[in-house]
Amino acid sequence: MYTEKAMDHFRNPRNYGRMENPDAVGKVGNIVCGDVMWIYLKIENDIIRDVKFETFGCTAAIATSSMITELAKGKSINEALNITNNEVAGSLGGLPPVKMHCSVLAAEALNEAVYNYLRKQGREIPGRVQERHDTSAAHMESLEKRYEKFMEPNKFGCEGVSE
């Protein structure tokens, strides 16, 4: 079902954990499966110098989160925005078709982190970044509404993560 590379990223995730004092944070979720991802970035001169993630989800969600951190580290924010879900899945040797949504979520989380960075910097948000943000924000709102009775506010230390 999963490739050995995907299983390796699941069993030994790269760059896992919360980052202290990140320059940007992206948070996304999937209303259907309930996966939630956080991507933390340290950025210098528009280059992603460090990246970490936290993910609550399935094997594919953790593997794709791990892989996108490896793909993004060292890239400019513009280069990072060009990382596609297909590149994430392909770098893992593929994903089962029913799990491709996890690679989409990983790409959305990175987009959200870059959006957060640009917004904090008071910089112009490119149209495609804004469009992807609007979609992700609507999904997160639905997810949080759906599960609000099961979650305590800030249970996962998310204060300050949203816009």
pLDDT in tens, 32-90: 777 899 999 999 999 999 999 999 999 999 999 999 999 999 999 999 999 999 999 99
Give the whole-angstrom CA distance, residue 158 versus residue 84: 26
pTM: 0.86
Instruction: Render the burial of 113-142: b for 16+ CB within 10 Å, e for the rest.
Output: bbbbbbeeeeeeeeeebeebbeebbebbee
Domains and CATH numbers, the chain: 4-141 (3.90.1010.10)
pLDDT of 146 > 80? The answer is no
Per-residue tokens: 23: 């320059």
pLDDT value of position 160: 40
Whose structure tokens read 């800030």? 154
Q: What is the per-residue pLDDT across 87-125, written as a single tens digit (0 to 9) for each? A: 999 999 999 999 999 999 999 999 999 999 999 999 999
Nearest residue to 41 via CA among 94, 115, 147, 134? 115
- Contacts (Cβ under 8 Å, ≥6 apart) of 126: 81
So which residues are the catalytic ones?
33, 102
